[in-house]
Amino acid sequence: MVHSTITPLAQEERETLRSFIADQLGRGNLDLPLLPVVANRVLLLSSDPDADASKLSSLIQQDQALAGQIIRIANSPAYAPRTPIVSLQQAITWLGLTMLAGLAFSVSVQSGVFHTTGYEKEVRNLWRHALATGLFGKEIARRIRHNVENAFLCGLLHTIGKPAILHLLAQSPDKSAEPFSWITIESLFEEFHITAGSKLAAVWQLPDPVQETIRYYQDDQYHQAISPTKGAMITCLAHHLASVMLGNSVHDENSLLTLPVVQDLNFYPEDMTALLELRETVRASVECFLP
Amino acid sequence: MTSATPFDLIVIGSGPAGQKAAIQGAKAGKQVALIEQTREVGGACVYQGTIPSKTLRESALQMVRFLQATEVFEFRMRDDVKITNLMTRLDRVVRAHGKFMKDQLTRNGIDCFHGRAGFVSDHEVRIQKTDGTATFVTAPIIVVATGSRPRVPDNIPIDHEHILDSDSILSLVYLPKSLTVLGGGVIASEYASIFALLGVHVTLVDTADRPLKFLDQELTDEFCEAFEKTGGHYRGGQKIGSVQWDGCSKVTTVLESGETLESEKVLVALGRVSNLEHLNLQATGIQPTTRGLIPVNHHCQTTVRHIYAVGDVIGPPSLASCSMEQGRRAVCHALGLNSGVAPEHIPMGIYTIPEMSSVGLSEQEATAKYGGATVGRARFHEIARGQISGMTHGLLKMIADPKGEQLLGIHIVGEGATELIHIGQMGLLHNMPIDRFIDNIFNFPTLAETYRVAALDIAKQRQH
C-alpha cells in the first residue's frame, strides 16, 4: 500500500496519466510487449516433463547476455560454488533446473521487454521485490507441503503488471522530458497493476496458477483463488515478507502475525519466526541475482 | 492463575479417532471440547492421508479405464491430461469431506477450538492460537488423538521439492518421468502402484525381500506381478546409503550395496512418527515409549487413568477404521457406558493397485494354531464377473481348519478386495462353516462368487 502525500501538481499529473492508463487498459488492442522468444521457450520448458539440463542449456546459449548473467549468478557468494563455474551446463547443475528456468525467464523479461527508461533504479527494486517474493514463496510452500516450484514462479511474476504500466506510460502523449514522479507512478501501480498484469499474463499465456496469482494475490482477494496449489495465498504472505525484508512495508515483524493470510495459512508464531529467520538467506540470493 | 473453561470431555485432535471420541461424548450428553491445530477438521486422514491418496488412486484408475475405452469406442483423449486435473478433483473431494465432518461436529453440539493443545496439568489444557494468544480448558476426562506425520530419516534430506514425503507428494503439479519410492509398507506400496499406473517409471526399494511382508505371500506375489506389468520394479533386500539431489534434474539414491538409482523425484515413505511434540506430556506424568508412542491398556487408558490415547499416537494397527472404534470405545469406557463386544476380526484394507484385503488367520497362523490348514483359492479371471470386467489379476484365498470345515481367514487381492472382504468378515464373526458358502446362492455374475468357488476348492480337498 502506498502511503504518501500527493501534491496538487502531482495530483493533476496523476489524473492525466490515470485517464490514459485506464483508456489503454480498457481497449481491446492493448499495446503490451511480446514475450521474448527465449523467455517464452524457457517458460514452456520449465513446465515440460521432458525438459532436461541440456535442453535448457542450449536454449539459454541463444541469448548471450542471458548466458552471461546466469554464469555470474552461479559464481556469486550466495551460491558459493566449490570450484568456479565456467560453463552453462555446470551452472545449471549447480543452481538447479527449476530455479534456473524461473530466473532465466525473469532476467530475459527484465532486459529489454519493457520501456522503463528513466526508472532503472526503481524497476530494479521492483524486480528485487518480485524475486524476494518468489524465494519466500518457496519456503512457505515447503512448510505447508505445497508445490515449491509453482510458488516460486507465482511470486516472481505476481507484480508483472507494474513494469507493464511503465511500458504503457512510455507511450503517453503527455510524456515530458522529465520522468513522471515515482510517487505518481506508485499510485498508478496501486490502481492498475493487477489489471495490467492480468492482461499481460493472458497475452503471454502464463500458466493458469500464475495468472490466478496475479489477479488475486492481495490480502482482500486471495480467497477468490481456487487453484489447489494456493499460489495466491502463498504469494500474499511472501509479498508481505519481502516488503518487510526490503524495508518498504507498513508492517513490522510483530504486526505480520495479525495478518489474515497468516491465520489462513495456519501459521503459528513459531512458523513465522522460522520464516523470518530465512531473511538473510533470501537477501543474499536477491543480492547475487540483482546486485 | 489462569481461568479455564470447564468441559466434561476434552478431545485433542479431530482425525478419525478424535472425531468419533468427541461424537460419542456428545451423544452421551456431555459438554465436549474438540481441539484441532489446523483450520480444518479431519486431521491427516482427510488432508494428507487416506482420503487424498484414495481419491488420487480412483482418479488414476478412471483415467486408465478411459484410455482403454478409447480403443473400443473410438474416441481420443486430450494428450495433455495433467496431474493437476487429478489434483483438482482431489481438492474438491477433500473439501467436501471436510465440510461433512465439520457439519457433523456442529450438529452434535461439540465446541471446536482452533489451536495447538498443550497440557498445563493432567486436567487442564492450554490452546495456543495462531495469533499467539491462548485460552485454557479443563475437563475430568481427556482423550489424546493427535495422529502422526511422516518420519524424516536422518540420512535423507527431504526438501519437499525433489525429495518428497507422503504429504508433499500430493503437491506435484506434473507427473515426473521417474520416481524412486523408499519403503515397502502400505503408503509406499500404494503410491508406487498409483504412479506406475499413471505411466511413471517407478522403482520401489526396501530392505524386505517383498513389499507388505505382513500380508499373505500369494497376495503380494500377485501385487508384484501387476506392479511389474505396469512398468514398476521392486528392489528388495536393499538398504539406503544416501539420497542426494544433483542440483539439476535428478535425485541419486545410493544403496548400501554400492548400486545407484537415478530418478526425477524420490518419495520417502519409511514410517510415521506420533505427533507428541506440542502436547507437553511431562505436565501429566505420562511417559512416551522409546518409539515415541503413548502407552495404553486395552481400554486405551494411559498410565494417568482419566487420560486416554487413541489412533496413530498409540501405534499399530494405525488404520482409520480401528482408530475410529478406539475413539468411541475409549469414551464409552471413560463414561462407564457399554461399548458392546470388542471387535474380534478387524479387516485390513490396502489400497494398492490392485487392492488387497485380509481378515482372520493367515495360512501360516492357522498352521501354527491348528497344526495345519486347508486352503481354497478362486481366481478372478475364472469367474464370469472377472471375465466381463477384464480382470487379469485377482485371487481370493480362503483359509480353513485342517479338516476343511471351519472358516478361519480370508485374503483377497484384486479390484474390489476391500469391499469383498466383508462377506468373509461376517462369516468369521458368525463362526460360519465352509459349506455355508456352498449351500447358499450369490448374485450372478458377481465377484462374491469367488467365495463359493474357494469353498468348493476346500470341499474337494476334503474328499481326498
pLDDT (average), residues A23-40: 69
Higher-pLDDT residue of A40 and A112 is A40
pLDDT at B213: 93
On average, the pLDDT of chain B sits at: 91
3-class state of residue B274 by DSSP:
strand
> Are B46 and B101 in contact, with CB atoms under 8 Å apart?
yes
Mean pLDDT on A151-174: 84
Contact A266 B131 (CB under 8 A): no
Residue B333 pLDDT greater than 50, yes or no: yes
Look at residue B264 in the predicted model and tell me its pLDDT: 87
A94 touching chain B per CB within 8 A = yes
Q: How much is the pLDDT for B84?
A: 65
DSSP H or E run through B409: strand B407-413
**Is B351 within 8 Å of B418 (Cβ atoms)?**
yes
Q: Does A81 touch chain B (CB under 8 A)?
A: no
Grid cell 467365495 is found at B451
- Higher local confidence (pLDDT), B272 or A19: B272
Over the stretch B12-37, which tens digit does the pLDDT of each residue have? 999 999 999 999 999 999 999 999 99
pLDDT number for residue B75: 67
Test B38 with A266 for CB contact under 8 angstroms: yes
**Mean local confidence (pLDDT), A167-181:** 73
Q: What is the pLDDT of residue A2?
A: 43
Mean pLDDT, residues A48-69 = 67
Instruction: Specify the range with the lowest mean pLDDT, choosing from A22-36, A253-267, B297-311, B379-393.
Output: A22-36
pLDDT at A10 over 90: no
Three cell numbers written together for A83: 570450484
- More confident position, A89 or B294: B294
State whether residue B406 is helix, strand or coil: strand
What is the arithmetic mean of pLDDT over B284-294? 96
Instruction: Using the predicted structure, report yes or no on whether residue B76 has a pLDDT greater than 70.
Output: no
Res B224: pLDDT: 96
In angstroms, what CA-CA distances link B130 with A136, A206, A261, B64, B113?
A: 20, 34, 11, 43, 12
The contact set of B with A (CB < 8 A) is: 37-39, 48, 84, 87-88, 90-91, 116, 128, 130-132, 159-161, 165, 167-168, 170-177, 245-249
Looking at the predicted structure, is the pLDDT value of residue B229 above 80?
A: yes
pLDDT of residue B419: 96
Asked if the model's pLDDT at residue B372 lies above 50, the reply is yes
Of A93, A141, A268, the CB nearest to B247: A93
pLDDT of residue A1: 43
Task: Tell me the pLDDT tens digit for each residue of B112-155.
Answer: 999 999 999 999 999 999 988 999 999 999 999 999 999 999 99
The DSSP annotation for A44-96 comes to HHHT-TT--HHHHHHHHTT-HHHHHHHHHHHTSTTT--SS---SHHHHHHHH-
B81, burial (CB in 10 Å: exposed 0-12, middle 13-18, buried 19+):
middle
Q: pLDDT at position B77, please?
A: 58
Interchain proximity B130–A267, CB inside 8 Å: yes
A213 touches chain B (CB under 8 A): no
More confident residue, B160 or A42: B160
Tell whether the model's pLDDT for residue B260 goes beyond 80.
yes
What is the average pLDDT across A236-261? 92
Per cent of chain A over pLDDT 70 is 70
Q: B447 with B386: CB under 8 angstroms?
A: yes
For range A9-23, the mean pLDDT: 79
Q: pLDDT value at position B69?
A: 73
Average pLDDT over residues B387-402: 92
pLDDT for residue B242 is more than 80: yes
Per-residue confidence (pLDDT) for residue B2, from 0 to 100: 58
> What pLDDT was estimated at residue B180?
98
pLDDT recorded at residue A108:
65
Of residues B175 and B197, more confidently modeled: B197
**Residue contact A268–B128, C-beta within 8 A:** yes
Is A270 an interface residue toward B (CB < 8 Å)? no
Residue to test with chain A: of B37, B130, B275, most A Cβ within 10 A: B130
Q: Nearest by CB to A92, which of B87, B159, B248?
A: B248
Partners of residue B444 on adjacent β-strands: none
- Placement of cell 518487510 in the chain: A244
* Residue B407 reports pLDDT greater than 80: yes
Nearest residue in B to A255, CA atom: B131
pLDDT score of A207: 77
